[in-house]
Amino acid sequence: MSQDPKLKERLSKLRVKIDALDEKLLALLNERASVAIEVGEAKREGGASFYAPSREDDLVRKLQEKNGGPFPSSAIRPVWKEIMSASLSLESPLRVAYLGPQASFTHQACLKHFGLSALCLPVRTIGEVFDHVEKGKADFGVIPVENTTEGAVSNTLDKFFDAKTKIVGEVMLRISLNLMNKSGERGDIQKIYSHAHALPQCRNWLEAHMPDVPALEAPSTAQAARMAAEDETLAAVAGQLAGELYGLLNVEASIEDNPNNFTRFLVIGKEIPDPGPCNKTSLLFAVKDQAGALYHMLRPFYDNNVNLTKIESRPMRRKAWEYVFFLDCEGHVSDPALKKAIEGLEKVCQFVKVLGSYPCGERPQ
Three-state SS letters, 112-177: HHHCCCCEEEEECCHHHHHHHHHCCCCCEEEEEEEECCCEECHHHHHHCCCCCCEEEEEEEEECCC
Q: Which residues contact 75 (CB under 8 A, 6 or more apart)?
A: none
Radius of gyration of the chain (CA): 24
How far is the C-alpha of 86 from the C-alpha of 89, rounded, in Å?
5
Count of CB atoms within 10 A of residue 104's CB?
A: 26
How far is the C-alpha of 281 from the C-alpha of 327, rounded, in Å?
8
Single-letter code of the amino acid located at 230:
E
What is the set of active-site residues? 263, 265
How far is the C-alpha of 285 from the C-alpha of 350, rounded, in Å?
7
How far is the C-alpha of 261 from the C-alpha of 149, rounded, in Å?
6
How far is the C-alpha of 241 from the C-alpha of 239, rounded, in Å?
6
- DSSP code string of 235-291: EEEE-HHHHHHTT-EEEES---S-SS-EEEEEEEESSPPPP-SSEEEEEEEEE-SST
Q: Which residues contact 69 (CB under 8 A, 6 or more apart)?
A: none
The answer to whether residues 149 and 258 touch, using CB atoms and an 8 Å cutoff, is yes
How far is the C-alpha of 55 from the C-alpha of 312, rounded, in Å?
30
Burial class (CB in 10 A: 0-12, 13-18, 19+), 96: buried
The answer to whether residues 129 and 141 touch, using CB atoms and an 8 Å cutoff, is yes
Q: Omega before 211 cis (within 30°)?
A: no
**Nearest-CA neighbor of 195 among 179, 172, 216?**
216
